[in-house]
Amino acid sequence: MSRSPSFDTSRAAMPTAALDAAAERAGALLSGRGDTVAVVESTSAGLVNAALQGVPKASSYLVGALTVYSLTAANGVLPREVLEQLGRPRDNYASASAYRESKRTFCLALAWHARERFGATWAVAESGAAEVEGLPAQLKAAGVFTALAVVGPQGFEHCVFLDLSVAAGVAPSRREAMQAFALGALEVLE
């Protein structure tokens, strides 16, 4: 009934070199300072955590990760006080600008929460939209973007947006957007 999985060697060439290199740089910086990091992802779906965890001796700096992709997941794993910081979904989805700002709020609130809960020196969080097609009409103008936040000691917080422009009339694929968002999250750690 069950079949052993097989590994297709042609799949080994997936575009992970940039993610791996960024994770190695971030890991070296973190471990070199004796710092730790917690990761919260949404749109990148665990790629940041996977890249960091793929670096040898990752357990010396990576303390944990959380993927919160939906309101259902947020309601299931976040305490009420964090959920209250995120605002009301109706307000967050009222317009493209409100949607983008809600992602900044989400990233900062969840980064602070993860840093505290995991006891990490730093936390990085990511959330956005990997494709326009799946967005309701009032949000399509937000485009393909993510908010990237890093928080740390002495109240340090930094949040930026990564917008993926349409080059030559071709939008990035969902997977390309996810990989770009993960790379951006790793780079804000540097």
Residues of the chain with pLDDT below 70 are 1-15, 165-169
Neighbouring CB atoms inside 10 A of 7's CB total 7
130 touches 181 (CB < 8 A) = yes
pLDDT tens-digit map of 118-138: 999 999 999 999 999 989 999
CA distance readout (Å), 189 to 40, 112, 139, 180: 13, 15, 29, 15
Residue 172 has a pLDDT of 85
Residue 107 has a pLDDT of 97
Residue with tokens 């939906």: 70
Considering the entire predicted model, what is its pTM? 0.89
**4 three-class SS:** coil
Residue 167 has a pLDDT of 58
Residue with tokens 């109240």: 155
Residue 168 has a pLDDT of 56
**Residue 38 to residue 150: CA distance in whole angstroms:** 10
**Residue 99 to residue 94: CA distance in whole angstroms:** 7
Residue 19 has a pLDDT of 93
Number of Cα atoms under 13 Å in the Cβ half of residue 34: 0
Amino acid letter, residue 160: V
β-partners of residue 170 are 167
